[in-house]
Amino acid sequence: MEYLDAKEKFISTWGSLGSLWGINKAMAQIQALLFISTKPLSMEDIMEDLKISRGNTSMNLRQLMDWGIVTKVLVSGERKEFFTTEKDVQELAKIVAKERSRREIKPVIKVLEEVSTIKDDGTEKTKELIKQTKALKAITNDLDTLMNKLVDQKQNWLTKSVFKLMK
């Protein structure tokens, strides 16, 4: 496989995986492109490479910056803006986990909390609702906590030993 094929395959695969980490296709593809680029890219570069419009590029770059995944860099002697992405996968995973937790999981936990604390009127269906939403809340919480700690502390002694034990 040649470089160009490999690059295209990587970008389109990563793009379609976007849904897994909660972002849209263009966003994921821009990030992928920056991720394998050896230098910062301008909006022109990105539009041209991915064949997407200026507006689309602008909006998705903004979102990537909101996530904290992409940053503007100043290239001396250049008027236009250049962009680069976090290159360390560890850091990337950490940011993604934190943002998804904040944007999606935490709000759900809040609703489960509300629902699971309704007044028990003694009926079977109310008891079941309370019981099941409590259980769901507990596991959602646990997995959320664990995921965050793991990506956060992947380097440290604890996780290293966990990994070893799990092999």
Residues that bind a copy of itself in the complex, under the rule CB under 8 A = 1-3, 6-7, 9-10, 13-14, 17, 19-20, 22, 35-38, 87, 89-90, 93, 100, 104-105, 108, 111-112, 114-115, 118-119, 121, 123-126, 128-129, 132-133, 135-136, 138-139, 142-143, 145-146, 149-151, 154, 158, 162-163, 165-166
In angstroms, the CA 112 to CA 108 distance is 6
What residue type is 111 in one-letter code? V
Residue 121 and residue 94: Cα distance in Å, rounded? Answer: 43
Minimum separation from the CB atom of position 53 to a copy of itself (A)? 25
User: Which of 30, 92 has the CB closer to DNA?
Assistant: 30
Residue pair 30/61 in contact (Cβ under 8 Å)? The answer is yes
Task: Sketch the per residue contact string, 81 through 120, with DNA: x for CB under 7 A, - otherwise.
Answer: x---------------------------------------
The strand order across the sheet containing 70-73 reads: 41-42, 82-85, 70-73
Nearest CA to 30 out of 15, 9, 17, 13 is that of 15
- Binding-site partner at residue 156 among DNA, a copy of itself, none, CB < 5 to 8 Å by type: none
